Amino acid sequence: MTDSSYIENKLKEQQVSAGLIRDALNWGRKETDPVLIDRIPKPAGVFYGKEIWEMCIAAILEGENILLSGPKASGKNVLADDLCALFGRPQWNASFHVNTDSSTLIGTDTFIDNEVKLRRGSVYECAVHGGFGVFDEINMAKNDALVVLHSALDYRKIIDVPGYEKISLDPLTRFIGTMNYDYAGTRELNEALVSRFMVVDIPPIGTDILMKILHDDFPDAKDKALEQFAGLFLDLQEKAEHSEISTKSVDLRGILAALRTIRRGLSPQAAVKIGVSGKTFDQYEKEIVEDVIRLRIPEDWTREEIFE
Ligand SMILES: Nc1ncnc2c1ncn2[C@@H]1O[C@H](COP(=O)(O)OP(=O)(O)OP(=O)(O)O)[C@@H](O)[C@H]1O
Ligand SMILES: [Mg+2]
């Protein structure tokens, strides 16, 4: 099965609009260059969320860039990878942080064979190949890095940096920004930048989707046990929503990693310590989290209570 037909089946299961799925699969052009084929992500799992899928597919088909905003570990990068696989486009990644400037994105002058040549940055490569550029944590970007992107992100679809040749974007090029709404150090996103994206808000995860993810990742686990792990996550999420605890321990990644280490042979108590309660460093908060854990994961549980 090809990667796009894997995604196609998973989207049909979620009852994503058949017309949108069809248009996405028929869109663009097929890559033949092995280097570009290698850049099309092989989906490790599918993103769950019918409405979110429909918003993203429709926006991409209409030439828009999308900004995925949501809590940590809410599947933003899984979705970005799945979109590349569905549309069959190679992906380039750029992570934004205080040291990301326009030259990191577009390119830098370097000496090659005694000549000054431009070593192309990720946005340049993405633009000429009609790739999907994933901008991680775009809210951390400095203005210098953002301003060069404005003309690439709007109808002009060009990159025009003084001193470099002007680059026209391949019409298939799209940009997918991700941002996390509660990382420390984030700042309000610049209005001119947000204006150039369709903003897709990923809501906190609910029971149904959570159980699907757990079943997909742990087909060998017992249903009753997975329900307790899902319950643990949802209890913590609710406590954070009511400001009883911070969001530090509300981390799906930590729950999944805890389950993997249990399958490997670690005791459930030790696994949730490193995957869940260990993520908060405040003693008072840690005690609240440990109380929630005790109600969900009995202290005498062993691997056998969880896995077949
Ligand atoms: N709606 C969802 N559908 C499928 N998987 C999900 C979903 N939400 C979370 N996950 C799971 O959560 C984990 C983290 O996903 P991912 O790395 O894409 O999150 P993220 O939103 O990019 O997080 P961060 O903001 O911390 O970078 C993955 O293992 C993924 O399978
Ligand atoms: Mg991410």
User: How big is the chain, counted in residues?
Assistant: 308
Task: Answer yes or no: do 119 and 249 share one domain.
Answer: no
Residue 298 clears pLDDT 90, i.e. is over it: yes
Q: Coil, strand or helix: which one is 154? A: coil
Task: Answer yes or no: do 154 and 232 share one domain.
Answer: no
Task: Answer yes or no: do 182 and 299 share one domain.
Answer: no
Task: Answer yes or no: do 188 and 243 share one domain.
Answer: no
Residue 184 clears pLDDT 80, i.e. is over it: no
Q: Three-class SS string for 138-190?
A: HHHCCHHHHHCCHHHHCCCCEECCCCCCCEECCCCCEEEEEEECCCCCCCCCC
Taking the centre of ligand 2 as the mean of its atom positions, its distance from the CA of residue 304, in whole angstroms, is: 32
Number of H helices, E strands in the chain: 16, 9
Taking residues 64-78, what's their average pLDDT? 95
Instruction: Enumerate residues 6+ apart whose C-beta is below 8 A from 88.
Output: 4, 25, 28, 30, 31, 40
Give the model's pLDDT for residue 147.
83
Q: Coil, strand or helix: which one is 143? A: helix
Cα–Cα distance between 17 and 174 in angstroms, integer? 21
Of the residues 201, 216, 245, the one at which a domain ends: 201
Task: Answer yes or no: do 45 and 155 share one domain.
Answer: yes
Taking the centre of ligand 2 as the mean of its atom positions, its distance from the CA of residue 295, in whole angstroms, is: 30
Give how many domains the chain has, as a whole number.
2
Mean pLDDT of the chain: 92
Give the model's pLDDT for residue 182.
63
Strand partners, 107: 120
Residue 15 clears pLDDT 90, i.e. is over it: yes
Residue 162 clears pLDDT 80, i.e. is over it: no
Taking the centre of ligand 2 as the mean of its atom positions, its distance from the CA of residue 247, in whole angstroms, is: 16
Task: Answer yes or no: do 48 and 194 share one domain.
Answer: yes
- Ligand lying closest to the C-alpha of residue 180: 1
Task: Answer yes or no: do 194 and 216 share one domain.
Answer: no
Residue 179 clears pLDDT 60, i.e. is over it: yes
Task: Answer yes or no: do 57 and 189 share one domain.
Answer: yes
Taking residues 205-231, what's their average pLDDT? 97
- Residue at token pair 């509660």: 182
Ligand 1 pocket, 253 CB below 6 A?
yes
Ligand 1 pocket, 130 CB below 6 A?
no
Q: pLDDT tens-digit profile of 264-291? A: 999 999 999 999 999 999 999 999 999 9
Ligand 1 pocket, 52 CB below 6 A?
no
Which residues are close to ligand 2, an ion, with C-beta < 5 A? 77
- Ligand lying closest to the C-alpha of residue 10: 1
Cα–Cα distance between 204 and 72 in angstroms, integer? 10
Q: Which residue has the higher pLDDT, 182 or 226?
A: 226
Q: Which residue has the higher pLDDT, 222 or 1?
A: 222
Domain containing residue 43: 3-201
Give the residue among 94, 103, 99, 121 at the shortest CA–CA distance from 163. Answer: 103
Taking the centre of ligand 2 as the mean of its atom positions, its distance from the CA of residue 168, in whole angstroms, is: 29
- Residue at token pair 């696994």: 271
Residue 163 clears pLDDT 80, i.e. is over it: no
Cα–Cα distance between 157 and 113 in angstroms, integer? 32
First to last CA, the chain: 29
Cα–Cα distance between 240 and 248 in angstroms, integer? 9
Task: Answer yes or no: do 142 and 18 share one domain.
Answer: yes
**pTM exceeds 0.85:** yes
- Ligand lying closest to the C-alpha of residue 74: 1
Q: How many CB atoms lie within 10 A of CB 244?
A: 12
Closest ligand 1 atom, residue 48 Cα:
3
Give the model's pLDDT for residue 187.
63
Q: Could you tell me the two tokens for 69?
A: 């905003």
Closest ligand 1 atom, residue 68 Cα:
21
Task: Answer yes or no: do 237 and 189 share one domain.
Answer: no
pLDDT bucket at 146, cuts 50 / 70 / 90? confident
Ligand 1 pocket, 215 CB below 6 A?
no
Taking residues 67-84, what's their average pLDDT? 95
Of the residues 186, 201, 216, the one at which a domain ends: 201
pLDDT bucket at 185, cuts 50 / 70 / 90? low
Task: Answer yes or no: do 103 and 225 share one domain.
Answer: no
Task: Answer yes or no: do 194 and 180 share one domain.
Answer: yes
Do residues 178 and 136 make contact, with C-beta atoms less than 8 angstroms apart?
yes
Ligand 1 pocket, 256 CB below 6 A?
yes
Of the residues 156, 179, 201, the one at which a domain ends: 201
Which CATH number characterizes residue 60's domain?
3.40.50.300
